[in-house]
Structure 1
Amino acid sequence: MAYKPLAHIPTHLISGILGVGKSSALLALIQQQPPEEVWAVLINEFAPAGMDALLLQDQVPQDAKVTFAEVAGGCACCLANLPFKVALNRLLRQTRPDRVLIEATGLSHTRELKHLLTGPEYAQVLDLQSVMTLVDARQLTQYAQHPLWIGQVQAADCLVANKTDVYQAEDYQNLQAWQMRAGLADKPCYLVSQGRVHLQWLMQPAVQEANKAPTPLFSPIISASSSSAYQAASITSTVRLTLSREQLAASWQTWYQQQQKTWGTHIRVKARLSNMQACYHLQAVGAEYQLDVLPLEKSSPLSSMQRIEVIAVAAKEDIQNALTLWAQELGILDEA
Structure 2
Amino acid sequence: MQRPHSVVVLVLDGALPLDVGIPAEVFHPETGFPYEVSVCGVEPGTVPAHGGFGYAVSRGLEALAGADTIIVPGYAPAGRQVPAEVQEALRSAAARGVRIASICYGAFALADAGLLDGLRATTHWDAVKQLAERHPQITVEPNVLFVDEGLILTSAGAAAGIDLCLHIVRSDLGVSAANEIARSLVTAPYRSGGQAQYLPKNSSVPHGDTLAGTREWVLLRLDQHLTIDGLAAHARMSPRTFLRRFADETGNTPLQWILRARVDAARELLEGTRLSIDQIADQVGLGTGSNLRLHFRRIVDVTPSEYRATFAGGSGHAGVGSGQFPALSSQL
More strand by proportion, 1 or 2? Answer: 1
Q: TM-score, normalised by structure 2?
A: 0.28
Q: Name which structure has the greater RCO, CA cutoff 8 Å, separation 6+.
A: 1
Output the TM-score relative to the length of structure 1.
0.28
